[in-house]
Each structure stands twice: as structure tokens, then as C-alpha cells.
Amino acid sequence: MFEIYKIHKWHKKTFPDTTHSEQMDKVISEIHEFIEEYENFTKARSCKRRRIYYRKASGELIDVIIASINCMRYPEIREQVKVKMEINKQRTFKGNHHIGG
């Protein structure tokens, strides 16, 4: 949990004027970068290329996580997370997925 705090603190210091909508755009951008590298991974024929693209896709996925953590600095997004978590708490889960709508 301390790592989350350090990421949050770094983001506030490094990007003091970034808005919550700009940060959400950053998350979306990182998701697209992940998808691109993951698609490269799935299409690669050689083991060497698959390893390279897997490593790149993994790095992009970490960027998605970091950008998402940075979203939590904004009250507007924290409120949306709070509302969504209330929905999630009402769901039934099997394994790591919810059942039904």
C-alpha cells in the first residue's frame, strides 16, 4: 500500500496541474498501448518475438495500473470509484468474476 502512496505523491509533484479528465485520457492512452503490444504478442510467430512483445505488453499493463492509481488523487474519480464499489459489493462472485449482470 505504501507503493500506491508513493506513486500518488510522485504524480501530484510531477503533474500538479493535470486535471481528472486529462488523467482519465492518460489511462485510456495506456490501455491502447497495452492492446497494441498484446496484439503484437498474439501475432508473433517466433518464441523470441513472443517474449519481447510479452515483456512490452506487461510493461504497458503496469503503466495502465500506475495511471489508474494516479486517478485516485481526484475527488471526482474517487466518488465514482466509491459508487462502483457499492455496486460490486452487491454482486455475487465465483472465482475472480462476478456472476450475472
| The model's pTM | 0.86
What are the φ and ψ backbone dihedral angles of 67, each rounded to 5 degrees? -65, -35
Full DSSP string of the chain: -HHHHHHHHHHHHH-TT--HHHHHHHHHHHHHHHHHHHHHHHH--SHHHHHHHHHHHHHHHHHHHHHHHHHTTSHHHHHHHHHHHHHHHTS-EETTEE---
Residue pLDDT, tens place only, 55-77: 999 999 999 999 999 999 999 99
Residue pLDDT, tens place only, 13-35: 999 999 999 999 999 999 999 99
